[in-house]
Structure 1
Amino acid sequence: MNVRARVSGVVAALTAAVLLAGCGSPGPAVPDLSGPLPAGPFPAISTGDLPDAAPGEVHLFGLNDFHGNLEPPTGTNGHIGPYETGGAAYLAAHLARLRAKYPAGAVLAAGDDVGASPLTSALFHDEPTVDFLNSIGVAASSVGNHEFDHGVTELARLQHGGCAADGCTPGPRFTGAAFRYLAANVTDPAGNPPPGTTPWTIVDVGGHKIGVVGTVTPDTASIVLPDGIRGYTFADETDAINAAVPAMKQAGAETVVALLHDGGAQNTHGGPVDPNGCTDISPTVTALAHRVDPAVKVLITGHTHQWYNCAIDGKVVTQAASYGRMITDIALRFHDGTVDAKAVNRLVTHNLAPDPATAKTVAYYAGLADPRAKQTIGTATAPLPVESSPGGDSPLGDVIADSMLAAMAPQGAVAAFMNPGGVRAELSDGPISYAAAYAVQPFGNEVVAVTLTGRQILALLEQQWDNVSKPAVLDIAGLTYTYDDSAPKGARVLQDSVRIGDAPLNPAAEYKVATNSFLQAGGDGFAVFREATGTADIGPADLDALAAYLKSAGPIGAPPPRVQRR
């Protein structure tokens, strides 16, 4: 069942109340909280003291990985170092400052604008986030892998508007993104991009034509639901960017900006990470800059949720964290037939008044989601972290696997597998709210049970080292084993150590195992699931399974590791 259906009983009343509250006077003025930022481990640059633009200078304001965080994110996700950051109303306020100082400007985004979003956005199919991005004047965005979470059909709806399959969101009719989604390296067999997208576009800023091309990590092919992207190829990003440059130049582009939903990180060896530093940057970032056509002056990256500001091979290469916590302010200066680029990563701090119109809209959707969000569905006796144990499985991931096994045990399931990338947040000790559980599992997958032989289970475990990005140790229930990651490929799992329940694994026997629909379809490269025999048993939504488990199990703690590394 779609999450929105669970709040249908309260939506009508809340909608009426909020709309009535929105009529008449604009409400009390928001106090001006402008002031200096406290000292920290790196220079905290925000928007309080903006320099004048040089002659011939225009500005681009880069965002990435917003993930529908309309409300200020909490915990470590709501900070850059010691500074509280993020939230749509504060992001809009900082952008207003930038636009006032640099009216020749445009907002660009590097993907994952939506997807894996908090309830305030996700409950309404991320339509409130797209409307917010329209309101701040986003001119173009690359697709990210999360734009494909619900397949190319839903991506086209986000672009063009209209109601979702389960009905229309409260409020004004959704009209889609006013900006263009760019997908230069995503094509069908005929070479066409996904419906509603285009490889590149031209943005006119201050009378200058700027070519903007967008790409997404090729890993997308293995980290989203395969059925939603079937038939599409995710090709090399720099090849796609370079192939688009001649067409953009022919269309009048004076320079080119690449929006890449891919990136890396600084390595400060445990020290503070300066938002405007480029310390020991990942080789992947350097390789992107070296391989891209010299006509590309700026690479706005994303995907890794990191921050850096680099000058590599005559190009500016940046990333601005995630969740609306930072804006990359890029100055392009056109002079003497050349273009110079420089950038500053500016923190979206809370030491100024939030934008009132944005705050009002966010409060409207938060009010609709609030009754469901605050419902208590369980209790944790200790924190349940996402961080892996020495063997690779995580306490919270194993609890989710427990919930899938419990959901499918009536159908005969004896073990369960959970992909670690599907666990998006930790749970604190104490009461567990529906919103907290949703933040952990926001994708809406179904729990399923399939039949695998013992030999196939061994092959499945070996596929953990075939992941395109890095080893992906599955979280598990009903199963224990030991591995040696220094052993030869295909022999890392110690077969004699694998036990299901209290019995050694029998390679010739058949076992019914639970998982989610993403893994069942071969997601994250676990193709063995597609070799399952017979018809899959379909269970509840993954979040419903977790809620039912938390209710029936009573207070839960962190389980001991189930995977051992030799």
Structure 2
Amino acid sequence: MLSIRGKRPVVAALGAVALAATTIAVGAWSGHGGHWGPGGPGGHGGHHGKQVELQLLAINDFHGNLEADSSLTYPGFEEPVGGAEYLATHLAQAREGEKYSTTVAAGDLIGASPFLSAVFDDEPTIESLNAMGVEVSSVGNHEFDDGFEELQRIIDGDEHFDGADFPYLGANVVDEATGEPVLDPYWVKQFKGGVKVGFIGMTLEGTGDIVSKAGIEGLEFRDEVETANKYAKELKRKGVNAIVVLLHEGGVPVAEDTGHDCESLDGTGTGMSGPIVDIAETTSPLVDIIITGHTHNEYVCSVPDPAGNPRMITSASSYGKVFTEIDATYDKRTKDIVRSKVSGSNTVVTRDVEADPAQTAILDEYGPLAEEAGSRVVGYIAEDITRGATRAEEFPLGSLIADAQWWSTAAEDAGGADFALMNPGGVRADLLYDQGTPGEATYAEVFTVQPFANYVVTVDLTGAQILEALQQQLPSADRDTTLVLQVSEGFTYTWDTTLTGTDQIVADSLALNGEPIEAEETYRVTINSFLADGGDSFYVFAEGENRLFGALDVDAFEDYLAEFGTEADPIGAPELGRVTVIG
């Protein structure tokens, strides 16, 4: 795989639209353990000289989406949205006339990025965020895609790269040996006149289950609520009463009324579900506002804190398509945010504003280099080869990638694999026939499909362990969603959705080339290094023995396309049916 740092190739060793805004106020509670004030929705005002108006601008899940391309769309908008040039302009316009403003983020700013950023190890994205005025961010799970050592390089820089101008916070990311955080747990923004706001940053507790364990060895991801409560007390002891949590975990707006007083841009989200609800309802009342991410949803909600007082929870969709503006009153006497005077809105990043010149300069610098690296044709396809509508189904591109990984490890000296399994979340984009020159699959397109730089790993698993892996596709205490493993040609089984629990995976249906998989027999199975570490709660894969590491997954895919997708005989989308679904 090509990796570019300091813009030199090296080989890897291992104006806001008013109608688009939704605004919600969080109610009439004033302060922490304070009193019911006359406030209510909206409005700043009152106690001039003793109160100041704060502005928090927030983004999340940017994922290196620097370019303003046609893929960035938003429901209800005819034209594409987003792009760093326009996001920067919108943020700058929102800051105009605001004396007490800061721009923050809730993680996944890098990782799973488009080719332009990923091929330069996300350095262009960090440069973009620096120029955009981001002052602090929590880490998200994707900040750990290439391991903690690489995250430290991103933060600190190296001889070719200056690093982040802003602190990446990880209060719940701790050293297992010492119990101490390995990143700054919080950051205090000190405005003029002694106004101070503390920001506690965290990623989701489950991060260790969804990133490669090899890169986070020795790290522990702790409970979000316990961590937030601990550092909220510490900030208060230091005289910081205004506290905001930046959390890379989120929720899902729902149509039914759940008592959480939510609003979303499409007008459908009146309630809230998902992990953030529990977290918000049990996080200390010392915390005034919670800015979230991870679920790629857009919402502005009011969720009561443990004392029953309204508290704002926000999320700004993903990929820089939306930003959040939170307006809050800070009382200099209590050194705290007045809860009755907090309002928030989300705004779609339209492209009807001037492009920010600093962002344009970054794109102009990296664009030609990325184009040169990515324009190489690696193979030819006969039609669109796509992902599924969800991760809970078999889909053609997943089958193709599983085929490529099995092919790359089938030879005895390469692993002796009998078949391969691929996690659906590792497939990040469709492989489209007309994406550039019709039929050509370029390195940039292939990289965008598989941007995580995982290795293919072949392991010994018994038939019983293979069945257990398929059962771990289903929701469990560790994961509330179904993730269907994509399977290579020759491996088949039946999933009967009319049954309950793990019985849905029909045990005697597992077969390899028509022959039943025997529980006590040992098979050579290829997976990627993320799954081999038990990622996505497929814990049984971590038990695999006799591991043999092969190529990077993107290289295996590239080689497969070159071998079987020639210009004279382009490769088509595999037929579905390796998984037989009943019900």
TM over 0.5: yes
Read off the aligned partner of 2:459 and give its amino acid letter: V
Read off the aligned partner of 1:238 and give its amino acid letter: V
2:578 maps to what in 1?
A: 562
SS of residue matched to 2:19 = coil
Q: Which runs of 5+ in 2 are unaligned?
A: 23-41, 257-262, 305-309, 566-570
Alpha-carbon contact 1:390-1:565 (below 8 Å) kept: no
Shift of 1:485: 4.7
Alpha-carbon contact 1:379-1:556 (below 8 Å) kept: no
Read off the aligned partner of 1:495 and give its amino acid letter: A
2:35 maps to what in 1?
A: none
2:423 maps to what in 1?
A: 419
Distance 1:487 1:204, change over 3 A: same
Shift of 1:8: 5.7
Within a 5 Å distance, the mapping from 1:350-369 to structure 2 comes to 350-369=351-370
| Mean CA deviation greater in 335-344 or 152-161 | 335-344
Deviations along 1:197-230, whole A, 9 cap, x unmatched?
1111111235410010011111211100012122
Alpha-carbon contact 2:2-2:9 (below 8 Å) kept: no
TM-score scaled to structure 1, two decimals? 0.85
2:215 to 224, 228, 231: 228
Shift of 1:289: 2.4
- Provide the C-alpha distance between the structure 2 equivalents of 1:330 and 1:9, rounded to a whole number of angstroms: 42
Distance 1:440 1:302, change over 3 A: same
- Provide the C-alpha distance between the structure 1 equivalents of 2:269 and 2:135, rounded to a whole number of angstroms: 27
Distance 1:95 1:547, change over 3 A: same
Within a 5 Å distance, the mapping from 1:417-456 to structure 2 comes to 417-430=421-434, 431=439, 432-456=441-465
2:282 to 260, 284, 291: 291
1:504 to 491, 516, 535: 516
Aligned length: 521
- Provide the C-alpha distance between the structure 1 equivalents of 2:394 and 2:513, rounded to a whole number of angstroms: 17
Shift of 1:190: 4.2
Corresponding position: 1:100 with 2:100: no
Within a 5 Å distance, the mapping from 1:350-429 to structure 2 comes to 350-387=351-388, 392-411=393-412, 412-429=416-433
Higher helix proportion:
1
Distance 1:175 1:188, change over 3 A: same
1:168 maps to what in 2?
A: none
CA RMSD of aligned residues (A): 2.8
Distance 1:266 1:342, change over 3 A: same
2:166 to 163, 179, 194: 179
Alpha-carbon contact 1:275-1:308 (below 8 Å) kept: no
SS of residue matched to 2:410 = helix
Deviations along 1:109-131, whole A, 9 cap, x unmatched?
10001111112111111112112
- Provide the C-alpha distance between the structure 1 equivalents of 2:503 and 2:433, rounded to a whole number of angstroms: 39
Shift of 1:510: 2.4
Alpha-carbon contact 1:219-1:468 (below 8 Å) kept: no
Read off the aligned partner of 2:70 and give its amino acid letter: T
Read off the aligned partner of 2:469 and give its amino acid letter: L
| Mean CA deviation greater in 334-343 or 218-227 | 334-343
Deviations along 1:60-82, whole A, 9 cap, x unmatched?
1101011111112532x443532
Alpha-carbon contact 2:44-2:328 (below 8 Å) kept: no
1:4 maps to what in 2?
A: 4
Alpha-carbon contact 2:246-2:290 (below 8 Å) kept: yes
Shift of 1:292: 1.7
Alpha-carbon contact 1:480-1:500 (below 8 Å) kept: yes
Deviations along 1:118-158, whole A, 9 cap, x unmatched?
12111111112112222222221111001111222112222
2:158 maps to what in 1?
A: 162
TM-score scaled to structure 2, two decimals? 0.83
- Provide the C-alpha distance between the structure 2 equivalents of 1:388 and 1:476, rounded to a whole number of angstroms: 17
Corresponding position: 1:120 with 2:116: yes
Read off the aligned partner of 2:446 and give its amino acid letter: A
Within a 5 Å distance, the mapping from 1:212-251 to structure 2 comes to 212-251=199-238
- Provide the C-alpha distance between the structure 1 equivalents of 2:513 and 2:170, rounded to a whole number of angstroms: 46
1:201 to 181, 187, 194: 187
Within a 5 Å distance, the mapping from 1:540-551 to structure 2 comes to 540-551=551-562
Shift of 1:468: 2.1
Alpha-carbon contact 1:389-1:395 (below 8 Å) kept: no
2:19 maps to what in 1?
A: 43
2:568 maps to what in 1?
A: none
